[in-house]
Structure 1
Amino acid sequence: MTTPRSRATWIKWLLLAALVLAVGLGVVRALDKRKTQAAAARAAAESLQRAPVYTLAAHDVVAVRAVELIQSVGVSGSVEALKTAAIKARAAGEIQGLDKREGDAVKAGEVVARIDSTEARARVRQAERQAASAQAQVAIARRTLDNNQALVRQGFISATALETAIANLAGAEATHQAALAALDIANKALADTTLRSPLSGQIAARLVQNGERVGIDTRVLDVVDLSGFEMEAAITPADAVAVKVGQAAQLRIEGLAQPVQATVARINPSVQASSRSVLIYLRVPAVEGMRPGLFAQGHVVTGSINTLAVPASAVRNDKPQPYIQIVREGNVVHVPLTDGASGQAGAVAMRQVGGVPAGTPVLSAQAGLIREGTAVRLATN
């Protein structure tokens, strides 16, 4: 039979054994955790020592390929009407009969306005009377000369009187010619009171109103001919070397859905002093919706070459010399580009590359910058 004292002793040893077991389990658990942490640290150190291998998706890589590279020069500017005219007042006075407004059509020679001609008509009448008076004086001087010639032949007057009659006739004729010239001037001033359109087109601006008094050279109307357009573009002297008269150009004009084909019509022989640029002029055909002042941009095609090229977006410029990132033997290699041609292959801007074989994988713009020497592998579909 167990006594209470022996039972207490047994419980004490049981608790001691449980405590020892718990301590042992804690120690084992701590050692296992330390071992796990040490293994993780070793793995992390080994991973830091090993260079990471990046997997490149299909859209991260483009290939060097042979293309027909269309070389071009970018241009931009405003489209203006080839023929424009400013109708100005050539005489001072009150504007009358001005009925045309912006957008109205006019024909060459059509009367578009008049200037009060009361004073001009009076001056014409005055000049006509003066011319008639001078003509009458010529007739009198001629009759006098004829009479004096007859009297000289009969010996009734001296030759000096005849010479005087000849001089009087010459003076009368000169006065008559001066009067006729004054009449021409008066008629010209009267004609200047009628304003006519010098070309067929549309009214672009109306700058005065009926009843308004204008001075000489005051602009009254602006007329534009929408049958032809021209664009002035500034390019660098280096680009101007390749641009020739007659070369084709393609323009995107604001508001128009389709591109417009243009032609280089003229090249300014001088370099602009302020911008150090060369001005070229493109002849642009009239199409539906074309209006003066619309902004246009595009390119002039200067030639083409067959070469190896990559998309221009794959060329990086964060170093002093442009370069591309190629994949060679599983590593990224930065290959600098020497001065190469740029152009279009279809709708894609391309850049010529030299010394890189066709088919070489090149990192696209989406891949971003990857340090040279980084190990990569291409994703397989």
Structure 2
Amino acid sequence: MKIETLPLPPATTARRHWKKGAALLLVLLSGAGWYAMKARATAATDAKAVKDGAAVAVYELSKADVALIKRRELRLDLPLAGALAPSEMATVKSKVSGVVLEMRLQEGTSVAAGQVIARLDAADQRARVAQMQAACDEAQARLSLATKNRANSQALLAQNYISQSSHDTSQNSVELAQASLAAARAQLDMARIALADTVIKAPLAGVISKRHVQAGEKLAPDMPVATIVSLRQLNLEAQVPASEVPRVKIGQEVRFKVDGFQQRDFIGQVARISPTTEAGSRSMVVYISVDNRDASLRGGMFAKGAITTEKSAPAPLVPLAAVRQVKGASVVYTISAGKVALQPVTLGLRNDDDGIAEVKTGLQDGATVIVARLDAVKPGQQVRIGAAPTVAPAAAAATATSASKG
């Protein structure tokens, strides 16, 4: 007997398909819920990481944004400029007439005090000396004769052989002879001086700046022979506005530079101050003494520098750009251990031209201050100088997570 399997009714088949679909849908919904919960947890973790990273962010500052505090003097200077002039200069002139026999020194030659510059023909002066010597000898002989006559008259007067008036005459002869001898000796001294003046010597040590005569020329009295300039001491003559003169005091230090010596600073001192202003200007001339023992400077050179009118003792100096006013007090932002701190300071002497000020209290040598105006940098902020910005580990993890999601 053959048994055949009959097909299931349509309703039974539909019921089985529905059960399978419901199970699959339940699995899909469960997986979607699990993924949603995981995404929320991941987002919360990322948000917290980003928040933590922002709290510890390190700002980068360039080297131009900060300054290192150094301990040194602060000077208040008054600018000036002027020309250098020798403090001693002499034009040597001939005292006697005569022909120049010798004149060997040229311009630029150094001479010592008392060194021979020129020699004149001294024949006339030697003859004059001989003449005056003869006159002196003659006066001496007359004095000797008058003295003997006075002695004889004195003896005769004692024996009453002559009158008192005769004796007075002999006494007068002695006095006249003495006067003649003195005059002759004076004339002899003058002749000897004239003879010595035929040898012309330098009155001071220096350098020949100009030679006025040549060998063979005839000189008359008071004619110039040579000009000598002493370079051991120079004067810097500079004009200062009359309004600034009260700041200038004798003895103040002056630092200046000269064309051709750009790498060298020269030092002088205020020696004199003119009592009146210069004609056509409202300036006064200040004379500055400059020691020039090495003879590196020359007269007529142009100098430019400044008078130090006030100077502080060595102290920490802070740029004025770093100083801020908070509630009427002066403060600066310092950097210590990578963090910004607000530091009150007490300022002393200020130099507005150079933009620095003396710090009485509040800063030490070697401190670092912020000079730039950075609104985002506040006290307590972490900073780094001259390096790439630092990212905190939490922030770095958050960034990596975001990148992997993207």
TM-score class normalised by the smaller sequence: 0.5 to 0.7
C-alpha deviation, 1:160, in angstroms: 1.0
1:282 aligns with 2:288: yes
Q: Structure 2 vs 1, CA of residues 282 and 134 (structure 1 numbering), >3 Å: closer, same or farther?
A: same
1:245 aligns with 2:255: no
CA distance in 1, matches of 2:165, 2:195: 45
Which of 145, 148, 156 does residue 153 from structure 2 map onto? Answer: 148
Counterpart CA distance in 1 for 2:208 and 2:295 is 18
The question of 1:297 aligning with 2:307 is answered no
Query: Which amino acid in the other structure matches residue 343 of structure 1?
Result: D
The one-letter amino acid paired with 2:150 is: L
1:99 correspondence with 2:104: yes
Which secondary structure does the structure 2 equivalent of 1:245 belong to?
Answer: coil
Q: Could you tell me which amino acid in structure 2 is paired with residue 280 of structure 1?
A: V
Shift of 1:114: 1.4
Partner of 2:354, secondary structure, is: strand
- Kindly tell me: are residues 231 and 290 of structure 1, through their superposed partners in 2, closer, same or farther at Cα, counting changes over 3 Å? same
Q: Is the 8 A contact 1:248 1:264 kept in 2?
A: yes
Contact preservation (8 Å) 1:69, 1:342: no
Equivalent position of 2:37 in the other structure? none
Could you tell me which residue of structure 1 aligns to residue 124 of structure 2? Answer: 119
Stretches of structure 1 that go unaligned for 5 or more consecutive residues are 1-60, 311-339, 347-357, 362-380
Matched with 2:344 is none
The equivalent residue for 2:30 is none
C-alpha displacement of 1:84:
2.7
Which residue number in structure 2 is paired with residue 344 of structure 1?
Answer: 354
TM-score, L = length of structure 2: 0.58
* 8 Å CA contact retained: 1:91, 1:193: yes
Q: 1:91 to 1:344 in 2, by over 3 A?
A: farther
Conserved in 2, the CA contact under 8 Å of 1:71 and 1:344? no
Call closer, same or farther: CA 1:300–1:256 in 2, change over 3 Å.
same
Letter of the structure 2 residue corresponding to residue 256 of structure 1: F
The code of the aligned residue for 1:137 comes to R
Give, as a single letter, the amino acid of the residue that structure 1 aligns with 2:306. H
**TM-score normalised to structure 1 length:** 0.62
Are 2:182 and 1:182 equivalent residues in the alignment?
no
Identify unmatched segments of 5+ residues in structure 2.
Answer: 1-63, 322-349, 357-369, 374-388, 390-406
Query: Structure 1's 248 and 273: CA in aligned 2 closer, same or farther, altered over 3 A?
Result: closer
Aligned residues: 264
Contact 1:90 1:192 in 2 (8 A): yes
Residues 202 and 282 of structure 1: CA distance in aligned 2, closer, same or farther (over 3 Å) = same
In 1, Cα distance between equivalents of 2:301 and 2:65: 38
Shift of 1:212: 1.2
Q: Deviations over 1:261-295 (max 9, x none)?
A: 32324123511351443222222232564222211
Alignment-derived partner of residue 41 in structure 1: none
C-alpha spacing 1:115/1:129, structure 2 compared with 1 (3 Å): same
Please give the per-residue CA displacement for 1:143-180, whole angstroms capped at 9, x wherever unaligned.
Answer: 10001111111121111100111111111111111111
- 1:158-169 equivalent positions in 2, closer than 5 A: 158-169=163-174
In structure 2, what residue type is equivalent to 1:207? H
Cα distance in 1, alignment partners of residues 272 and 310 from structure 2: 18
Deviation at 1:135, TM superposition (A): 0.9
Moved more, 171-180 or 99-108: 99-108
Between the aligned partners of 1:140 and 1:281, the Cα distance in structure 2 is 65
CA distance 1:90–1:290, shift in 2 (3 Å): same
Q: What is the RMSD of the two structures over their aligned residues, measured on CA atoms? A: 3.2
Instruction: Quote the Cα distance in structure 2 between the aligned partners of 1:144 and 1:174.
Output: 17
Number of the residue aligned with 2:206: 201
Q: Do the aligned partners of 1:127 and 1:183 also contact (CA within 8 Å) in 2?
A: yes
Identical positions, percent: 30
Aligned to 1:334: none
Select between 290-299 and 141-150 the one with higher mean Cα deviation.
Answer: 290-299
Aligned twin of 1:218: 223
The 5 Å alignment of 1:18-97 reads 70-97=75-102
Question: How far 1:230 moved relative to its partner?
Answer: 2.2
**Is residue 148–residue 162 contact of structure 1 (8 Å, CA) maintained in 2?**
yes
1:327 counterpart residue number? none
Could you report, residue by residue, the CA deviation over 1:313-353 in whole angstroms, capped at 9, with x for unpaired residues? Answer: xxxxxxxxxxxxxxxxxxxxxxxxxxx9753358xxxxxxx
**The structure with more radius of gyration:** 2
What is the deviation of 1:299?
A: 0.7
Amino acid of the residue matched to residue 295 of structure 1? F
Matches within 5 A, 1:288-367: 289-303=296-310, 309=320, 342-345=352-355
Render the CA deviation track for 1:31-76: whole Å, top value 9, x for unaligned. Answer: xxxxxxxxxxxxxxxxxxxxxxxxxxxxxx999xx99963211211
Q: 1:170 aligns with which of 175, 186, 189?
A: 175
